[in-house]
């Protein structure tokens, strides 16, 4: 069926057209943006559901959803219909709002159970920054606690809460110092030890917010222990500190729950959303409890946090229709069942390659294979030559991250596991 076909690689990967485009891109783009080498990347030309085609005519299967965005599948007919039926394609988000902006915010609030207000943006870092500003306004304090291996964006306002030193080092002299990083519970320190450390920071009286990804994606597919999060939530309440969940990757069903906070039986003060929100176009949202969001002053005609494309009418319409689709079809249930099937197959593979695979873990269609002694990026490049698009993650690049669209089939999963077995055998 179109969009659900297995890979078909006709040329060397990368092919000749991709290689030519490498040289052209190298001449016009900042050299730090796109990694270019003899065996990476391919240049994409079109996509549909599970399949992606490159400029050389090779057909790939995408197991990344393009950074987790295309939850419902690439170029989904629903998205195309939303575009084709649009009567407005641009707007003035904080001056002349659109109907679709209102309907989208109402929809997100409804899915969260009510009691939230939002600020829309175009990417995750923007929404993390608006969460930080909100916490500052509400508490009158400045410090923000985040966790080891956290990834909350690379803007100057999010670098203090993103962990990887590689991202910070070139700008170390200018990065603000209000970020506090603590260990991920259960790795280098026990959950109780981490809680004690956080409590000592809170006792200083200058912490505005605790920020976490309920399941770290780029950090290596790691879920916070449930009991730790419950105790952390209570501690935040005790110190009148806001608890914020960055659900940019996990929100709207990918984790096997509509929202990953459901795993912990807590309701965050702030929830940051993106990626699957539109399953296509750039949009994000920061939702905060009404009382918290009302710390912002009422607009007197000049917003103090906005952007040109805030509440873009067309993208809001697409996002609203996508969320209706996710809710109507309860796609988080599909993510859970297909994720369980994927994990079962990968766990069996782990038994075959105990010397190479240290762990297989996942929640819904947010899955990681942790390797020992080999680079996940090397595995990813080998899989690309076989027609599968994957990504490495983890602090040392030791985890292969698998985040396919929810429309992934058992046939594709079975074939991928067979191809991965072949790659590992070599």
Summarised one tens digit per residue, pLDDT across range 33-48 is 999 999 999 999 999 9
- pLDDT band (50, 70, 90) for residue 1: confident
Nearest by Cα to 207 from 235, 249, 230, 166: 235
Interval 199-226 mean pLDDT: 98
**CATH T-level fold of 16-76+331-425:** 3.90.1150
Q: Write down the CATH number for the domain with range 78-329.
A: 3.40.640.10
The domain limits of the chain are 16-76+331-425, 78-329
Over residues 94-143, the pLDDT tens digits come to: 899 999 999 999 999 999 999 999 999 999 999 999 999 999 999 999 99
List for the chain the helix, strand, coil content (%; round to 5): 40, 20, 40
Tokens of 66: 């393009």
Is the entire prediction scored with pTM above 0.85? yes
Element (H, E) at 251: none
- pLDDT band (50, 70, 90) for residue 58: very high
Nearest by Cα to 394 from 149, 189, 63: 149
238: CB partners within 8 A, 6+ apart: none
Interval 334-357 mean pLDDT: 98
- pLDDT band (50, 70, 90) for residue 93: confident
Nearest by Cα to 147 from 232, 64, 241, 62: 232
- pLDDT band (50, 70, 90) for residue 343: very high
pLDDT value of position 122: 96
């Amino acid at each position: 069926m179109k969009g659900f076909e297995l890979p078909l690689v006709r040329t060397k990967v990368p092919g000749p057209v991709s290689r030519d485009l490498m040289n052209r891109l190298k001449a016009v783009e900042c050299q730090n943006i796109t990694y270019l080498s003899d065996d990476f990347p391919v240049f994409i030309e079109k996509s549909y559901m599970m399949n992606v085609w490159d400029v050389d005519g090779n057909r790939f299967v995408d197991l990344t959803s393009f950074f987790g965005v295309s939850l419902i599948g690439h170029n989904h007919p629903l998205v195309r219909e939303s575009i084709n039926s649009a009567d407005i394609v641009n707007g003035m988000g904080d001056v002349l709002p659109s109907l679709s902006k209102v309907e989208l915010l109402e929809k997100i609030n409804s899915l969260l159970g009510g009691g939230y207000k939002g600020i829309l943006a175009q990417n995750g870092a923007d929404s993390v920054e608006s969460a930080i500003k909100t916490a500052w306004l509400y508490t009158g304090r400045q410090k923000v606690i985040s966790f080891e291996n956290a990834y909350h964006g690379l803007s100057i306002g999010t670098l203090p809460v993103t962990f990887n030193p590689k991202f910070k080092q070139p700008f170390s002299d200018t990065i603000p110092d209000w970020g506090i990083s603590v260990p991920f519970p259960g790795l280098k320190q026990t959950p109780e030890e981490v809680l004690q450390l956080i409590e000592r920071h809170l006792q200083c009286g200058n912490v505005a917010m605790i920020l976490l990804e309920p399941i770290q994606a780029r950090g290596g597919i790691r879920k916070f222990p449930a009991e730790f999060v419950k105790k952390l939530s209570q501690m935040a309440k005790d110190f009148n500190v806001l608890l914020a969940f960055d659900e940019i990757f996990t929100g709207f069903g990918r984790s096997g729950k509509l929202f990953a906070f459901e795993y912990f039986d807590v309701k965050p003060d702030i929830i940051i959303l993106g990626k699957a929100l539109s399953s296509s176009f750039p949009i994000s949202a920061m939702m905060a409890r009404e009382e918290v969001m009302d710390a912002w002053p009422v607009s007197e005609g000049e917003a103090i946090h906005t952007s040109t494309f805030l509440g873009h009418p067309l993208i809001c319409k697409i996002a609203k229709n996508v969320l209706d689709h996710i809710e109507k079809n309860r796609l988080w249930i599909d993510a859970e069942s297909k994720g369980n099937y994927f994990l079962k197959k990968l766990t069996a593979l782990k038994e075959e390659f105990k010397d190479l695979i240290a762990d297989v873990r996942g929640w819904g269609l947010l899955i990681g294979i942790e390797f020992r002694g080999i680079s996940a990026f090397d595995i990813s490049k080998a899989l690309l030559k076989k027609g599968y698009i994957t990504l490495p993650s983890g602090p040392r690049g030791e985890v292969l991250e698998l985040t396919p669209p929810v429309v992934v089939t058992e046939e594709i999963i079975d074939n991928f596991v067979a191809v991965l077995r072949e790659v590992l055998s070599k």
